[in-house]
Every structure is written in C-alpha cells, then in structure tokens.
Amino acid sequence: MSDMISLPVPERLSALLPENRRHMLRGHEEISISHSSKLYHVAQGSSPSRTSDFLDATIAALEDEMEYIKCIQDGLVEITTSGVLSNDAFQTEMRPVLNRLRKTSHTIDVMKRQRSSIEANLNDVKRKSITGPLDSGLVEKTRTHVTVRTDADATVTRGKGPPAWVRKHIHNQRVTRMGVTRYYNLATEYERGSSFCHVLGLFIPETSIAVAYLVPKTMDQAELSRIFGVQYDVLLSDPRNALSLVKPVKYLLEEGVIGIVPTRATGPVPSSWKCVVLDESKNEDFVYKRESGQIIRVKDLNDRVLSFLSESRPQCRYLYFRFLLSYLKAKRLELSDVTAKAEAQRSWPLSGEYLNKSALKTFARYVSGHELPDQFSYGQDI
C-alpha cells in the first residue's frame, strides 16, 4: 500500500527513544517492506483465489501497521513519563499518531466485516479489465471501497443530508461551540485558552476540545425529522444535542466504543449521566495525559459520572439515540461482546419529548438487519 507505514518518527524524537524501542520500530519497517513486496506479487494474479490472497495480505499489512503505530505511541509515553518530553510536546506529537491509529483500526474493522462485498467488487474490477490481472492501482481501489463503507458507517444511513452550504451554515464549529458554552454555562469557570470536557470533568487546552453531536449531523434530514418530529435545522442547532469533549473522547463516543447512560440513582427525568465502556477490547487505548503525568485510558472512563457546571443537561432522547447508534453498529458488525454489554444496561426512562417509535423500529431494522429489543423501545407511537 502506497501510504503504509508512512508515519515516520521525526529524527528529533527518535534520538530520545530508548535503543530497544528504536530497534522495535526498525523491525516493523522491515516487515512493512516484506508486506509491500508480497502485495505487489499477489496483485499480479487474476483468479478469485488471488483476490482472496490479496485481501489477506492487505489486512495482515494493516495489522502490522497498527502494531507499528502503537509502538510509536508507547515510545512517546515512555519518554514523557521519564520527563524527557514535555507534556505540551507530548500532546502535539501524539495527535497525528492517534489520528492514524483510529483510521487504520477502522479500515481493518470495515475490511474484515465487509470482506465479501469488497471481494466481489474487486473481482468485478478484474472481469471488466482488458488484461485480466489486478492492476497496480488495486490497493487504492480497495481503499476507495473501504472508505465508502466507512463513510456509510459514520452516517449510519445512506441519506446524503442537506447540501454542503447548508451544513456549513448550520454547523459552523465556532458558532456551535459558543452556543454550547452558553447553554452549559462553561464561560462562568472559563480559563483563558482552556475549555471543559464533560466526560473527564477537566479544563483542557481549547485546541484539544471539540463539540460532539449526539445525533450525527451527517444523517438523512428527512429520516431525522420523522424520528424526532422536528425540523432538521431545529434539531441539529439545539445545544442539548451536543457535549463539550476532549477530541479522543469525542471519537470514542462517535465510534461506539463508549456510551452515555443515566446513572442508577436517576429519577424519571435524568439529571445525572455516566460513561460506560462498551468495547472493552479498547480498554488500554490512550485518552489523555494530565499535567500531573497521569495517563487516562479508555478503561478509566467506565462508570465515570459526567460533570456539569450548571443545571443544564443534554436532552435524554439525544443521548438515547447516540447510545442506540452504538448498539446498532455493533449488532450489524456482530460484535457480540459489545451488544451484550449494551443490552445489559437498564431501560431508559420514557418521560420527556418523544421519538416516533415506529420510525425508530424501521430505522433499526434497516441499519442492523435486526429487530429493536424491547428495552430499547424508547418513544411513542404517533
């Protein structure tokens, strides 16, 4: 793959790493060369079995890329913990590493879960070609197919949503952040250059904070209007449809690794919420490094009660819908451990503004191919 292992460690950082860590990184780079050679030779074949071999080799290469990126991540943690690298420098250097790690992890997940359709697509490419063998651009064709599937996962449905200029008008990040800041009264405790993360309960450098939409802004607007009973622009401009989160936590929420549920002590109208880790395979993944040097990992988010600086709260039905999206994605991908943990959560309270139950059930059936369990049947028949 043309961009595989294309996240070199800058020389200034490489010199700071322990010798054993540099040796491990060199080993991964050598394995990458071997993978590239194998991919090239496999791509010359034209039989269906060659396509299968090609996908096997591609997935193996991506999995080693994951190990390489994690090796860089561990090295950065090592030199920061030992005091060689400052906390600010750590945050700066870690950002592209985490972005690449998430992208590669998601690509592997989609390739494994959607393998049959990817294989059929590539075989079709071969049948239509003049020469027969897989061409040199097959890797990019594979990536294109996976990217389309990844985008579909991100939007959940295949609806295109509103035009780009409408999304830009409604979802200008700066304006939305101001609305969220006002609604949650974050400005009362505002520290210059900082913003607040509702899950971590910490003030964090503003550049590391993002607005997390509970109902995705990329979903089909007509479908959202049917489910929620309000116009699209009203729904997605509602500050109760957002939380202020540090970027890694925002990603974990959007990917369904974590969910937000009412606490056990909550009454009929929830006012207290907690984070739950749904995908425990990500428990050791890095989330944030505090100024004290403490590393917060995914496992540390489980049962963590959300912090608010005022009486304002996100709307229950928006949080429910985000939780439901995580469940449906896991159901479709047959992640039984994730779905079991989601199903073990207690029923959501039914008070407050409704969701169209029939539209919700249809949506769930379309997205996951399964019926919505009774404990998730939040809403009213209208």
Query: In the predicted model, what is the mean pLDDT of residues 156-166?
Result: 40
Is the pLDDT at 166 greater than 90, yes or no?
Answer: no
pLDDT of res. 60? 84
- 83-99 tens-digit pLDDT: 888 877 888 888 888 88
Cβ density class 15-35: b for 16+ within 10 Å, e for less:
ebbeeebbebbeebeebbeeb
Is the pLDDT at 109 greater than 60, yes or no?
Answer: yes
| Cβ-Cβ contacts under 8 Å for 109 (sequence gap 6 or more) | 333
CA-closest candidate to residue 83, choices 16, 151, 5: 16
Range in 122-126, 149-153, 285-289 with the lowest mean pLDDT: 149-153
Mean pLDDT of the chain: 75
Residue 312 near residue 184 (C-beta atoms within 8 A)? yes
Is the pLDDT at 336 greater than 80, yes or no?
Answer: yes
Question: Which structure tokens are listed for 349?
Answer: 């309270």
Residue 319 near residue 355 (C-beta atoms within 8 A)? no
pLDDT of res. 1? 42
CA-closest candidate to residue 79, choices 17, 8, 7: 17
Q: Kindly state the percentage of the chain with pLDDT values over 70.
A: 69
- Tell whether pTM > 0.85: no
- 33-60 tens-digit pLDDT: 666 656 655 555 555 556 777 788 888 8
Is the pLDDT at 314 greater than 80, yes or no?
Answer: yes
Q: Using alpha carbons only, give the angle 250, 255, 260 rounded to the nearest 5 degrees.
A: 65
Is the pLDDT at 16 greater than 70, yes or no?
Answer: yes
Is the pLDDT at 294 greater than 70, yes or no?
Answer: yes
Query: What is the pLDDT confidence band of residue 144, given thresholds at 50, 70 and 90?
Result: very low
